[in-house]
Amino acid sequence: MIVAAFPGQGSQTPGFLIPWLESADARERLERYSEAAGVDLVAAGTEWDADQIRDTSVAQPLIVAASILAWQQLSDAERARFGGVAGHSVGEIAALIAANVISDIDGMRLVGARGRAMAEAAALAETGMSAVVGGKEPEVLEAIAAAGVSPANFNGGGQIVAAGALDGLAALAENPPRGVRVIPLQVAGAFHTAYMSSAGDALQAAVDDICLVQDPALPLWTNSDGSVVTSGSRALELIVHQVQNPVRWDLCMESFAEAGITGLVEFTPAGALTGLAKRGLRGTPAVALKTPDDLAAMGDLLAETAH
């Protein structure tokens, strides 16, 4: 069984969408996504610089649009060979679209609202996030708590992301547990913590505006607790829940292993989740779809391990 994995914020780089827009259909689709999300995603994915696409209100719809453009490059037969989907943080909206829980246009409206709401919440206080790499988890969590910040992402493979006030993150970096590295991340706020509480109402309103919600057409793992969600309405409840609660990608990878997955494909903009899989799913083949040139490697993986 191959899992389709959709990345979260921070994976984007300037110009990364250029090779995906060589077909007229892809460009026209991205223009429709731009209208739905309220962001010029064509310019963002081809022309804007790193600072411009780091803006939360831009980055989130840009990443989801990129993932779905890549997903739609696959044939029906190729998509049918995936045994399930999962998304990290905002990537979970791409997973909902891939699983036919919501349409691509409704998904882009939703992620546009999510990005704006979280950007507004982040502007209320000077906060940030830092990757905490290495060490024993109990000691890392103790150090995070002692610094007055919170664990926001349990990424597996020895990585936890801490989030909170900048002075707390600085204190954590100054006094890390033995053998631990603390790496500041280029994000605008303390996502997946209580600092995002004000984003909840706007996100719920966006969810309430979705008219057609279906149950997942294939297994959908939630990064709330790593379980498989079988109800479309429950999946959308968890989309609202996740903005101020930790991402449990570690539990998703544990569930993948328990399900006996034979491979993982990370959709555009790819790299982060395949990196985590190397440590959290040792020995499991993984392909990162960074450009259309990587579709051949994905096809080989599907042919070798899907059945």
pLDDT above 70: percentage of residues in the chain? 99
Judge whether 82 and 261 are in contact, CB under 8 Å: no
pLDDT above 90: percentage of residues in the chain? 94
Indicate the pLDDT class of residue 131, thresholds 50, 70 and 90.
very high
Residues 6+ apart with CB under 8 A from 138: none
Interatomic CA distance for residues 200 and 183, integer angstroms: 28
In a domain, 189, yes or no: no
pLDDT at position 307 over 60: no
Q: What is the pLDDT of residues 233-271, one digit of tens each?
A: 999 999 999 999 999 999 999 999 999 999 999 999 999
In a domain, 192, yes or no: no
pLDDT at position 148 over 50: yes
Residue 265 to residues 2, 82, 277, 289, 298: CA-CA distances in angstroms? 7, 9, 10, 7, 7
pLDDT at residue 306 in the model:
52
Judge whether 212 and 158 are in contact, CB under 8 Å: no
Active site residue 224: no
Residues 49-61: what's their mean pLDDT? Answer: 95
Strands 159-165 and 263-266: unpaired
Active site residue 307: no
Residue 286 to residues 74, 184, 214, 217, 258: CA-CA distances in angstroms? 17, 27, 29, 23, 17
Question: 134 and 115: one domain?
Answer: no
Number of Cβ within 10 Å of residue 28's Cβ equals 11
Catalytic hit among 89, 130, 224, 255: 89
Question: 11 and 89: one domain?
Answer: yes
Indicate the SS3 state at residue 189: coil
Residues 105-132: what's their mean pLDDT? Answer: 97
Catalytic hit among 34, 67, 192, 224: 192
Find the domain containing 132 and state its range: 127-184
Residues 131-143: what's their mean pLDDT? Answer: 95
Least confident span in 22-31, 139-148, 166-175: 22-31
Last residue of a domain, one of 138, 155, 184: 184
pLDDT at residue 285 in the model:
95
Average pLDDT over the chain, rounded to an integer: 95
Question: 155 and 45: one domain?
Answer: no
